[in-house]
A = this chain, B = another copy of it.
């Protein structure tokens, strides 16, 4: 992806703050993820200190954030990263992990939607009573 033909020596690489704004995370969070073992390998360093993120790092981190934003716990992402690191032969395990996560997300979406329906009903009651400028006709609950 995005292979740059114009300058062959310059391999795509970003500072931590560039990587942060590219992924919507903070530098602190990026360092935290690395320490926590969520990355496939330690990020490359320039001049014996500062991190340099390449395209592969960014693609992986982007996937991480999708897992996080669907509620996958750090621990489980770490397991997934371990499987990927282990290389060929772990594909079935990775698939299983992702499918389990998918199922969990669907369950959770459904639960939220159910509970939201009850809240919607409450909202409609309030909307009616506010429209008519009447106190809500509640008997104990509100």
Contact = CB atoms under 8 A, between A and B. Distances in A.
A112 B60 contact: no
**Main secondary structure on A side of the interface with B:** helix
A126 B105 contact: no
Contact of A140 (B55, B101, B113): B55
Contacts of A60: 140-142
Interface residues of A, number: 47
A123 interface: yes
Interface string A59-75: 11001011101110000
Given A56-B141, A105-B119, 18 more contacts: A1-B140, A56-B139, A56-B140, A60-B140, A60-B142, A63-B142, A67-B119, A70-B115, A70-B116, A91-B126, A91-B130, A95-B130, A99-B123, A101-B119, A102-B116, A108-B112, A109-B112, A109-B113
